[in-house]
Structure 1
Amino acid sequence: MRSLSFAVRLPLVVGLAVFVSSICTTHLAVHVMQREMEQEIVRLADVYMDSLSGAALPPLRSGDFQALAATLERGMGFQQGIGDLAIVVADRQGRVLAQAGEARGTPPLAQGLLGTQWIFNEREDTAWAQKELLEDGQAIALVAVQLAFPQQAARRSQLVWVLSVVDFLLAGTAALIAAIFSRKLMKPFFAVTAALSRAGAGGFEPLNTSSAGWGRDVEANRLAQAFNSMIASLREREELAIRLADRERAAVLGRLSASLAHEVRNPLAGMLTALDTIRLFGADRAARERAVDLVERGLRQIEAVVRTTLAAHRQDEEGRPLSAADLEDLKLLVLPEARRRGVGLGWEIDLPRPFQADALRVRQLLLNLLLNAVTASPAGRHVSLAVTREGEDMLVRVEDEAGGLPPEGVEVLSGLASAQGLEGRLGLEIAAQLAAALDATITVVPGGAGSLILLRIPSRAEGRP
């Protein structure tokens, strides 16, 4: 039964319960009917035996057993409704005094059973009825009569058979109707289950309660309304998350653009000065060479900034191992923002050989954490990055002096909550998503002046996508 689905199990159990209850009810009714029929036979037998006892009492009183036998012979066949096969009269010890008819089997008194008795045969179409014959309240003899009621037994058997067949058909029909009805009642819940599966796959579509299966069921419609309210909230949250993500990406792009502009503007100013020097003192070989060297250094610096920016956001290198050069290039993207805000930047990379992890995701994750730390730190404070190997894992420490993450930010970074409603915290949710994609664990350790974020990234197998 447990291997079957709930959609099959419930109608089956309901139908089986209705079927069993119907069969049991009918059998109980048949049993009661049989008892009533037996009681009716017993009452008829009592009346018959009372009349028989009254006729047998005078011969017994006189001790004329031949007259007693004749009386018994005359008494046979006089009753209506049941037939008598044999009549036996015995003394109180069970010794036979007179007998009439042909008995089928042994009477109770011959078996040592004295007093009042009522014994059916196996087919229940004959029975021995035995009672004491009383005079002045004293038992003077025993009278045993074998009664036959084949018509009643046949009618009872036929009635039981007909009732059983009819009951089986009615119980089966009722069980089938109950199973179909329970299946119909479950249709709204099947619809909710299917809708939840679609929602899990990203399809936030409300339920259509006008379709078949809902009808006027108050509970089912209440369930549908609750589900549709939940779907509406999820869609609203999804749209809000998309807008916040777009806003965060725009903010990150703005910070990067400002950093790039600051990084490119400095060498451009020097290069323009060098060009003025060449224009004014081009005839002086030494001045000209110094100016050309300055232009070359400026161009090299701009080339490094452009190369680092492309490397940090290039998608076609996804999945390649992370090297120390990747992390050093990352410094060029963070340093201008740190300088602009007056925040000190510490950088300690101990990665002697490439680490088997997705370099693109690791750089995006660290860039998010570092830019958030630099943005949150007041001027004059310090932000540091330390990367080391610890066994097969890479251990990253991002430490700041920004006063510490609030509890809501810690929950977002740990993946326990979303950034909805937390201004400026979407970068933490993106960092949590990147860490989950890397199978990394993030631990936030509160400090006196700020926070310490410990990031443990496991090594992946060679060639794993």
Structure 2
Amino acid sequence: MPLRYSRAWNALPIALSLPLLAGLAAFAAALIVAQVATRSLEREFAREAARLGDVYLDGISAALIEPLRARDRRAIEAAMLRALGFQEGVREQRLVVVPEPGAVPIVVGAREDPALPPPFTQGRQGAWEVSPDARTAWAQRTLLVEGAPPAQVAAQLDFARSLERRAQLGPLLLGLEGMLAALAGMLVALLTRRALAPLLAVTEALDRAGAGDFRPSIAAQRPPAGTEAARLIEAVDLMSARLAERERLAARLAERAQAAELGDLAATVAHEVRNPLAGMLTALGSARRFGESRAAREEALDLVERGLRQIQQVVQTTLDVHRGTLAPRPLTREDLEDVVRLVRPEAERRGLRLELAGELPEPFPADALPVRQALLNLLLNAVAATGAGGVVSLGVRREADGTLRLEVADEGGGLPEPALRQIEGGARSGPGLGLSVVMAQLARLDGRIEVDSRPGEATHIALFLPPAPEGAAA
């Protein structure tokens, strides 16, 4: 239950919970102060009553001095009766005087109550003693008179009427205390709410900023200039203005980035379409020269068909990626052979030899299309860098940890410095569009790349592809 109440309390807004908490604290403090004041008044009343009893005994003692000196019991009783008659403000009082030790007490006034005898008769010598019900009290003292033995004087005072008046005033005082405490709580709550106004203004400004509204605070709601609250509001307004400017800059940058992305997409698609087009044009040229040969025609048509399918796959993949409907499939030996067939016409045109080394006996769980695009670009770059009579090879091997290693080797003069920096930095954009495509596809495959470039001799570029999670490339 306490945890539930704590959560409910924490769910209240601070604009309500803090003034309410402050008001309740002020209400409780005011009640405590009122109760302390009431207890203090009661203690002061008790002290005043004791002083009243002392004054009362002073009057009686003055009237009893001469009768006690004369040891006249009748005169003592008469003085006691006269003193009793003068105390009209005390109701049902009783006076007890023992003229000398061992003498019979002289009692005047109300009938003796065995339950409330004078304290000195019980061996108690206190000057003031209140009864258990607090309705009466005994005031007593030892009276020393020159020429007479010590006498004991005791007066029982009745405070019933005072207690009745206090009982009547009790509910009124309690209600007045409650009203004053409630007034104090409400006043503190209002002051706390007013003190929270700058914080609430800041919260409102932050809420507006979170919703995209960066307008400054209303001037009429600002605190006095120069105060801490005013400086806080000014800081929030400055932050809102800077956030608004940042949003405008971000929007402009997003527009530029979108334009650049569209440009890169168009260039990539054009590059990917151009690569198979080169092989297809070469195949058409072969068909024109050797059209009489059925085998030559079949090979040319087969190459044209694969090139068109490659272009179809590039276009379809571009659409699927942007629509989020791309369905990957595993890489097979046929994919590697297709890539080599697409590049071979360009290699033959340049007088090179293109080889496929290694085996892939079973499909590898990696998306085939990005792998094909990356290898196609690397092989075309290798063919372009290698001179006539050279060899370009594509090697494939499964590593011990299950990773697939695809290595493109050429006999060119090594990679230029900008291309090396692009590969080492893992950048998806750079001076070479084909290399940018390779880096982008490698990022999709969570693979890595290693380069062994020997200037003037050869270049070896190895792609390491981890197996995709089960079902990801099914």
What TM bracket, shorter-length normalisation? 0.5 to 0.7
Task: Kindly indicate whether residue 122 of structure 2 is the aligned counterpart of residue 112 of structure 1.
Answer: yes
Q: TM-score, normalised by structure 2?
A: 0.62
Tell me, in whole angstroms, the C-alpha distance in 2 between the residues paired with 1:452 and 1:227. Answer: 51
Give the partner amino acid of 1:297.
L
Following superposition of structure 1 onto structure 2, how do residues 305-344 of structure 1 map, counting pairs within 5 Å?
305-314=311-320, 318=324, 322-324=328-330, 327-335=367-375, 338=378
Q: CA distance change for structure 1 residues 454 and 274 in 2, over 3 Å: closer, same or farther? A: closer
Could you tell me whether the CA contact under 8 Å between 1:305 and 1:332 is conserved in 2?
Answer: no
Show the counterpart of 1:261: 270
Give the drift of 1:6.
3.6
Using the alignment, how far apart are the partners of 1:137 and 1:321 within structure 2?
130
State whether residues 60 and 83 of structure 2, in contact with CA within 8 Å, keep that contact through their aligned partners in structure 1.
Answer: yes
Query: For residues 82 and 65 of structure 1, what CA distance do their matches in structure 2 show?
Result: 25
Alpha carbons 2:64, 2:79 under 8 Å: kept: yes
Instruction: Look up the match of 2:426.
Output: 373
For residues 209 and 193 of structure 1, the distance between their equivalents in structure 2, rounded to whole angstroms, comes to 11
CA drift at 1:102: 0.9
Structure 1 residue 303 corresponds to structure 2 residue 343? no
1:16-415 → structure 2 map (5 Å cutoff): 16-79=24-87, 81-83=89-91, 85-90=93-98, 96-103=104-111, 105=113, 106-109=116-119, 112-121=122-131, 124-135=134-145, 140-149=150-159, 152-183=162-193, 185-186=195-196, 189=199, 203-206=211-214, 209-210=217-218, 215-216=223-224, 218-238=227-247, 240-241=249-250, 243-244=252-253, 246-248=255-257, 250-269=259-278, 271-272=280-281, 285-286=292-293, 290=296, 293-294=299-300, 297-298=303-304, 300-314=306-320, 318=324, 322-324=328-330, 327-335=367-375, 338=378, 373=426, 375=428, 397-401=446-450
1:26 to 1:375, Cα distance in 2 relative to 1, 3 A? closer
Deviation for aligned residue 1:87: 0.5
Once the 2 structures are TM-superposed, how far is the Cα of residue 86 of structure 1 from its aligned partner?
A: 0.9
2:367 counterpart SS class: helix
Measured in 1, the distance between the counterparts of 2:374 and 2:89 equals 113
Residue number in structure 2 paired with 1:417? none
Within 5 A, what are the aligned runs for 1:442-461?
none
Hey, what's the Cα distance between the residues in 2 that align with 1:451 and 1:243?
A: 37
CA contact (8 A) 1:94 1:109 kept: no
Change in 2 beyond 3 A, CA 1:267/1:97: closer
Is the 1:94–1:112 Cα contact (8 Å) retained in structure 2?
A: no
Deviation at 1:156, TM superposition (A): 4.1
Moved more, 183-192 or 42-51: 183-192
Counterparts in 2 of 1:455 and 1:58: CA distance versus 1, 3 Å:
farther
1:274–1:55 distance in 2 versus 1, CA, 3 Å: closer
**Secondary structure in 2 matching 1:115:** coil
- Runs (5+) with no aligned partner, structure 1: 353-368, 388-394, 404-448, 461-465
Deviation readout 1:9-64 (Å, 9 max, x if unpaired)? 43332222111111222222233333333333333332221221132233333433
User: Structure 1 stretch 109-118 or stretch 242-251: which is displaced more?
Assistant: 242-251
Tell me: CA distance 1:453–1:63, structure 2 relative to 1, closer, same or farther (3 Å): farther
- For residue 70 of structure 1, give the secondary structure of its aligned residue in structure 2: helix
Distance apart, 1:132 and its partner CA: 1.5
- Secondary structure at the aligned position of 2:107 is classed as strand
Contact 1:18-1:178 within 8 A present in 2 as well: yes
Larger Rg: 2
Separation (CA, whole Å) in 2 of partners of 1:168 and 1:294: 104
Q: Secondary structure, in 3 states, of the residue corresponding to 1:130?
A: strand
> 1:137 & 1:237 partners in 2: Cα distance?
108
| TM-fit CA distance, 1:140 | 1.1
The TM-score, its normalising length taken from structure 1, stands at 0.63
Q: Which moved more, 1:163-172 or 1:228-237?
A: 228-237
2:69 is paired with a residue whose SS is helix
Q: Tell whether the 8 Å contact from 2:61 to 2:143 is kept in structure 1 after alignment.
A: yes
Q: Deviations over 1:165-222 (max 9, x none)?
A: 222122223323433443455466556556656766xx22236532887655955554
Amino acid at match of 1:265: R
Give the whole-Å Cα distance in 2 for the aligned partners of 1:186 and 1:42. Answer: 52
Are residues 307 and 456 of structure 1, via their aligned partners in 2, closer, same or farther at CA, if it must alter by over 3 Å? closer
Residue by residue over 1:88-126, the C-alpha shift from the partner in whole angstroms, topping out at 9 and shown as x without a partner, is: 012676864211111564233365143233123456453
Q: Which whole-Å CA distance do the structure 1 matches of 2:221 and 2:194 have between them? A: 7
Given that 1:338 and 1:345 are in contact with CA atoms closer than 8 Å, whether structure 2 keeps it comes out as no
Q: Contact conserved, 2:68 with 2:148, CA < 8 A, in 1?
A: no
Identity rate of aligned residues, in percent?
31
Ranges in structure 2 where 5+ consecutive residues have no aligned partner: 332-365, 386-392, 405-421, 453-460
Deviation at 1:145, TM superposition (A): 0.3
Give the deviation of 1:78 after TM superposition: 1.9
